[in-house]
Amino acid sequence: MSYIENYIKRSLKRITPYLIRFSAMSTMYNTSIGKEHSTTFADSDYNSAAYNAYRPMYSPRLYSKVYAYHASHSTSFSTALDIATGTGYIAKELSKTFQQVYATDISQNMLSSAIQSSNIHYSVSSAEDLSQFRDSTFDLVTVGQAIHWFNTEKFFKEAWRVLKPSGSLAMWGYSYHVINGYPTAQKKFSELGSGPLDAYWDPGRQIVANLYRDIVIPDKLFKNIIWERQEFDEKEGKIGNGESLLSDEWSVERVKNYVKTWSSYKNYMSKYQKENQQIEDPVDKLFEEFKEDEGWKDDQILSISWPFVLALAEKK
């Protein structure tokens, strides 16, 4: 059983009571995911500056795929909407191609660190309520690393409503990072996420770990639906299905700071800090082990890839 399968198994075990309680009310379950999201990334004490500094940047190849898909059925690149924009990385990239970009997030705290540009317009909004926008407003709607927090039934209806005829919806996400060439370190990273931090992941995390296989884009609203997945091949020790759409070269120090942006780490540390308990930082401890076992230094450069999923759909 792969580390992703192990993680999904543990996550499902943890949320089983909620699944039973809401088995006849899937919409309420999805809404509960949104509430969990709002208590993490929307918290006023969440470190949005660190999120801004250490989260991975999406490659030009990803945007090229999205734009090529949109151009296959539309000639308009006038307006775009990025939902759950966080600190605005996607919005900034869209602003290079679209005349006007609108970007929303449920967290004012995240938007306080957003990248500014004259043609980007930020506002606070949930993904399920886009009532501030008129029908048929946008050529493209994007969601990066966030659909797993949404009430998808409500979101897809709203995305369909605000898209222009033949407008495009693009969604993507990524799972645990892969340290290329260091299988032992890779195993320890997975053990961190499924070990001491396992109980502190937000409930939506197992959805992205499964690369959005649990999400169904309604064919009553959308057509020409495309799913593309690049998964970690445990036997080969690398990302399969071609080069990942999300890869980079980072210093050891940056990888450590990135792991500290995980919601599970934030939840874990917050719990003990609120209880005034002194605990050993599990991320610092792990990286001290890497320095001893792997000989890593803070400024050493590592090759990193992420299992990735991209979904594209055209408004009917």
pLDDT tens, 9-56?
444 444 333 332 222 222 223 333 333 344 445 554 555 555 556 678
Q: Is residue 74 part of a domain?
A: yes
Whether 247 and 174 have beta carbons less than 8 Å apart is answered as: no
- Evaluate whether residue 230 is within a structural domain: yes
Q: 64-122: per-residue pLDDT in tens?
A: 999 999 999 999 999 999 999 999 999 999 999 999 999 999 999 889 989 999 999 99
In this structure, what CATH number is given to the domain that contains residue 135? 3.40.50.150
Residue 20, helix vs strand vs coil: helix
261 in any annotated domain: no
Model pLDDT for residues 222-281, shown as the tens digit of each residue:
999 999 999 988 777 778 766 789 999 999 999 999 999 888 998 899 888 777 788 889
Q: How many domains does the chain have?
A: 1
Decide which of 316 and 26 is more confident. Answer: 316
Query: Rounded to two decimals, what is the model's pTM?
Result: 0.81
Model confidence over 164-220: pLDDT tens digits? 999 999 999 999 889 989 989 988 988 898 888 988 888 788 899 899 999 999 999
What is the distance between the alpha carbons of residues 94 and 63, in angstroms, rounded to a whole number? 8
- The answer to whether position 61 is within a domain reads yes
Report the alpha-carbon distance of residue 45 to residue 266 in Å, rounded. Answer: 10
Sequence-distant (6+) residues with CB within 8 A of 131 are none
Cβ neighbour number for residue 169 with a 10 Å cutoff: 27
Note down the domain range covering 118. 3-179+202-245+305-315
Residue 190, domain member (yes or no): no
Look at residue 195 and tell me if it is in a domain. Answer: no
Which residues have a Cβ under 8 Å from the Cβ of 255 and sit 6 or more positions away?
A: 177, 179, 302, 304
Residue 251 inside a domain? The answer is no
SS3 of 150, please? coil
> In this predicted structure, what is the pLDDT of residue 263?
84
In angstroms, the CA 92 to CA 87 distance is 9
Domain assignment of residue 170, yes or no:
yes
pLDDT of residue 54: 64
Round to whole Å and give the CA distance between 85 and 95. Answer: 13
Pair of tokens at residue 90: 């996607």
Q: Hunting for tokens 């004490």 — which residue is that? A: 45
- pLDDT at residue 34 in the model: 39
